[in-house]
Structure 1
């Protein structure tokens, strides 16, 4: 049973879920095309911390979308990539999504080195269709 939320909080929660459902739908289209009719067993992804994807919500959405897309029991295997910035002085620091792009060592502005990924690394399929 889900907890009761105030209307504004419920709307915000649903918007987050819609984001993961949309990602799952697009992912299913790409995977189905790449599988060329073969049974998909696992989809390996790399997702960066700055993509604002909630792991549990993505997995939950994938379970429903993959069934509707005839992907059956295909599982997601996700490599979560931390957000890392680098400043002009060469300092590299792992940052949280809300930390900004300022180097914690020298306060110089930094640029993102990793954390923006959303990549299908590969898919495991049965050889016999």
Structure 2
């Protein structure tokens, strides 16, 4: 089950990005050709993050269909079980997948541990021009 390995790598990336702040939701774009079983990924996440700062967080999956694009006639069509990699409109073999192979961390929802933090004056994040809870690129 490669979902466990994916969750371990994802948890490490989220932990680095959030700097120990409590995480509510991890948002992912997952292409249908990634061979990820959504239920297995969500289950693996719960036990991979158990006992870590990510414990209690959830995954939010945005499923991305596999789309075949023709380089000759520019047709874009969803890749189906009976469809090969030739263009169904013009027959060209000059095609490529324009989506469907993604596994991308798109966002992380974090929250402050202390509700009183919301009443504090503008802090470090505000000085850098980031909204509360936003991840800085550093």
TM-score range (shorter-chain normalised) is 0.7 to 0.9
Structure 2: distance between partners of 1:55 and 1:64: 15
Kept in 2: contact 1:28–1:69 (CA 8 A): no
After superposition, the Cα gap between the structure-2 partners of 1:70 and 1:114, relative to the gap in structure 1 and judged at 3 Å, is same
CA RMSD after TM alignment = 1.7
Q: Which runs of 5+ in 2 are unaligned?
A: 115-138
Kept in 1: contact 2:20–2:53 (CA 8 A): no
Greater shift in the superposed pair: 97-106 or 108-117: 97-106
Q: 1:106 aligns with which of 84, 87, 90?
A: 90
- Count of residue pairs the alignment pairs up: 112
Kept in 2: contact 1:50–1:97 (CA 8 A): no
Q: Which runs of 5+ in 1 are unaligned?
A: 1-16
After superposition, the Cα gap between the structure-2 partners of 1:96 and 1:25, relative to the gap in structure 1 and judged at 3 Å, is farther
Kept in 2: contact 1:83–1:97 (CA 8 A): no
Question: Greater Rg, structure 1 or structure 2?
Answer: 2
Runs of 4+ in structure 1 displaced over 3 angstroms? 96-100
Q: 1:117 aligns with which of 83, 102, 105?
A: 102
Q: 2:5 aligns with which of 7, 22, 32?
A: 22
Normalised by the size of structure 1, how large is the TM-score? Answer: 0.79
